[in-house]
Structure 1
Amino acid sequence: MAATGKGRDTYHHGDLAAALVQATLEIVDEVGVRGFSVAEAARRTRVSPAAPYRHFTDRDALLAAAALEVSRRLRAIHEEAVATVGTPQERLATVAGSYVRAAARYRSAFDILNVPGLRATRPELRDATREFVDLLLPSAFEVLPPGRGPETAVALLDALHALGRGYVTLLLDGKFGDPGEVAEAIATRATRAARALVAGYSGTDGPPVDDAPAC
């Protein structure tokens, strides 16, 4: 139990960790990663400044836990989007739209996934990335011409990630207008661009970009 000011709140050990992660996402969404502090997360969860360190060794550990949560949410958005998708080409193309939809929903908190150096020092984040890649690799191999190796499949996934991140950056920078209002249109545009990219890797013309069904 911890108290702040006149209020008093009790957290079970498992609940506090989750509450701190949620507070971290909210803070980063408001002030960015650079403005985030463990002390502010503690204040918002109404615990003492020392309480978060019972669950997270330092600031980066809490950011890593928040990044892992964002990664899970991104994967959930993607899995929902491809639940009724029949072709490997479309499963891959949908990745770009999923990135845009996740970024629009979580805004600046999405940037936690790209904190410099964080992924390199946190095996749980590397594992989450590897699991997402493993989810997509079978589709990548299906669309590639015979004889293309794993390096080409990985290059295709890297290109899709770069394309999705590019649209996300422009969306969150306001280049397309208010992110909340244009998110779905931009997700559709990103998916169409990804279809063309996948078609290029597969060695086929693919469906006409403008006539392809929106995701």
Structure 2
Amino acid sequence: MSATGQPGSSYHHGDLPAALVRATLEIVAECGVHGFSVAEAARRTGVSPAAPYRHFADRNTLLAAAADTIAHQLQAACREAAAAARRPEDRLAAVATAYVRSAARFQSCFDLLMDAELRSYRPELRESTRSLVDLQLPSALALAEPQSAVALLEALRCLSRGYAALLLDGSFGPPMEVCESVAERAGRAARSLASGYACQDQAKSH
């Protein structure tokens, strides 16, 4: 329910688990992970404080379900970006750019993906990282030998997460104001990194 007593945007209409996840994301976006409570999610969804526990064992289980939603949205954004690029290095750059843009869009909700504790509550969260690796692996293998391709993917993961973290903590300025420029810088850095690994392996082969 909203503050006025009317059903809010998360009112469940028969699908309480999904509504609770939506409410969780709303609260985390507004108050951060530490400001989230199951009781507030229940209030916004228009149900009793005990109702969420019929579907989610505890606070972290609900947060993990919300993190899974963010993970799927991130994967979709990265897949779409990669599909629009033609060359391997451009696909890798596009994924890095999409990753940083998504971090800016999710804001505090992105912290859910970085919370290692939540992965123990929802194994699917571990798969989300693997899915991004699988998405980029063909492009990396097109540029470098297998061992170098694995190292490239590890470096790209660190690069994308690093830019995202620095963007969200305000190191570059107000996140939404600088989002596009930072995302583009991440993409350029990823492209340079990919090209460097490709050149390195080409030099070894001669």
Class of the TM-score when normalised by the shorter of the 2 chains: 0.7 to 0.9
Question: What are the superposed Cα offsets for residues 96-147 of structure 1, whole Å, 9 maximum, x if unpaired?
Answer: 21111001111110110011322244211122322222222111211113xx
Distance 2:155 2:23 in 1: 33
Q: Work out which of the residue numbers 151, 159, 171 in structure 1 matches 2:155.
A: 159
Residue equivalent to 2:127: 127
Q: In structure 2, what is the Cα distance between the partners aligned to 1:56 and 1:88?
A: 42
Q: 1:179 aligns with which of 175, 182, 185?
A: 175
Structure 1: stretches of 5+ with no match in the other structure: 206-215
Deviates more, 1:29-38 or 1:4-13: 4-13
Residues 1:39 and 1:90: Cα distance change in structure 2 (over 3 Å) = same
Q: Following TM superposition, by how much is the alpha carbon of 1:194 offset from its aligned partner in structure 2, in angstroms?
A: 0.8
Q: Is the 8 A contact 2:168 2:175 kept in 1?
A: yes
User: Is residue 198 from structure 1 mapped to residue 204 from structure 2 by the alignment?
Assistant: no
Q: How many residues align?
A: 198
CA contact 2:61–2:121 (8 Å) conserved in 1:
no
Query: Residue 144 of structure 2 contacts residue 197 of structure 2 at CA under 8 Å; is this kept in 1?
Result: yes
User: What's the secondary structure of 1:48's corresponding residue?
Assistant: coil
Residues 140, 8 of structure 1: CA spacing in aligned structure 2 closer, same or farther, 3 A cutoff? Answer: closer
Query: Structure 2 CA distance, aligned partners of 1:132 and 1:192?
Result: 19
Task: Determine if the alignment matches structure 1 residue 168 to structure 2 residue 164.
Answer: yes
Unaligned segments of structure 2, at least 5 residues: 202-206
2:96 corresponds in structure 1 to: 96
TM-score (norm 1): 0.82
**AA at the equivalent of 2:169:** D
More displaced 10-residue stretch of structure 1: 100-109 or 29-38: 29-38
TM-score (norm 2): 0.86
Separation in 2 of the partners of 1:107 and 1:11? 24
Q: Which secondary structure does the structure 2 equivalent of 1:34 belong to?
A: helix
**Inter-partner Cα distance in structure 2 for 1:202 and 1:105:** 32
| Root-mean-square deviation (Å) | 2.4
Residues 1:112 and 2:112 aligned together:
yes
Distance 1:117 1:87, change over 3 A: same
- Counterpart residue type for residue 129 of structure 1: T
User: What aligned pairs does 1:1-215 form with structure 2 within 5 A after superposition?
Assistant: 11-13=12-14, 15-145=15-145, 148-149=146-147, 152-203=148-199
In structure 2, relative to structure 1, the CA distance for the partners of 1:64 and 1:54 (3 Å cut) is: same
Deviation at 1:79, TM superposition (A): 2.0
Which secondary structure does the structure 2 equivalent of 1:117 belong to? helix
Q: Distance in 1 between matches of 2:126 and 2:16?
A: 24
Higher helix share: 2
